[in-house]
Amino acid sequence: MPTAKGTDSAQSYIIQGRTVTMPCLVRDASSASIVYLVPADVAQRYVGDAYEVVEMTPGQTQLIVGFVDYKDNDLGDYNEVMIVFMVRPKAGGDDGTFIWKLPVNQSFTCEAGCRIWGFPKSIEEIDVEYTPARVSCRLVMGGQLVFTLSVPRGSADAGDSPDMEMTTYTYLDGPTCLQFATGGTGTTVTPGGEGVVLTLGTHPIANDLRALGLPTQPMLSTWMEHMRGSFGAPRKL
């Protein structure tokens, strides 16, 4: 179990003999995010009793599928896949993200993410490959392919993305939230997600994504060549 020390921004945790201090900083990473519109009633099955999905249009909510190649981060150098819904607490509160699945390929970040924030991390096979024009991610869990996701790679000198603050909701011995901020450089936003290729495999999570209507045309896709960010301490709702 982690040992917590201090309060607020000075709070720290001991994980596998190492100290993680809040806020947890991401100094450099590359990331892809693909935004889909999916049936709200199906999405509601995956967010738990404490939250309700936010409808962007009647009967539809946002699903974000993406991956991150962390290169310089307080939790290490690792790959991560994210499957995310937009929610709000049923008891009242701001709209934010709820991470349904967050597989990673390193032990330290897995334990830190689960124990500090309640992130649904697990250790899986995640391969990220780069070409000058594209970046591809392959996720395998329990020996079964979940998906491959390939996105256009924008230019490193593309536009900047200013830091934005958001709320993420989790379950850590009950409903929990944390604040995070993210921004970066080399950001390419593609309305309609032109060039995105998602191929689903045979793993049960792939079938869950099929139940949500994937693969389908995205609303948009974002590639960020150099992402930065920070994650604050968890707070009970």
Q: Is residue 235 part of a domain?
A: no
- Cα gap 53→28, rounded to integer Å: 31
Number of domain units in the chain: 1
Q: Would you say residue 21 lies in a domain?
A: yes
Assigned domain for 106 exists:
yes
High-pLDDT (> 90) share of the chain, %? 92
236 occurs within a structural domain: no
Is residue 115 in a domain?
yes
Structural domain of residue 84, as residue ranges? 3-229
Q: Rounded to an integer, what distance in angstroms lies between the CA atom of residue 62 and that of residue 84?
A: 8
Task: Tell whether 57 is covered by a domain.
Answer: yes
**CA–CA distance, 159 with 151 (Å, rounded to integer):** 17
The answer for 169, left when phi > 0, alpha when psi is -120 to 50, beta otherwise, is: beta
Residue 7 has pLDDT above 60, yes or no: no
Q: Which residue has the tokens 């409903």?
A: 175
pLDDT digits (tens, 9 = 90+) for 121-140: 999 999 999 999 999 999 99
The predicted-structure confidence for 29-61, as pLDDT tens digits, reads as follows 999 999 999 999 999 999 999 999 999 999 999
CATH code assigned at 146: 2.40.400.10
Q: What is the mean pLDDT of residues 106-130?
A: 98
Residue 123 falls inside a structural domain: yes
Q: Give pTM, 2 decimals.
A: 0.93
The confidence band for 6, taking pLDDT boundaries of 50, 70 and 90, is very low
In the predicted structure, residue 79 carries a pLDDT above the cut 70: yes
234 belongs to a structural domain: no
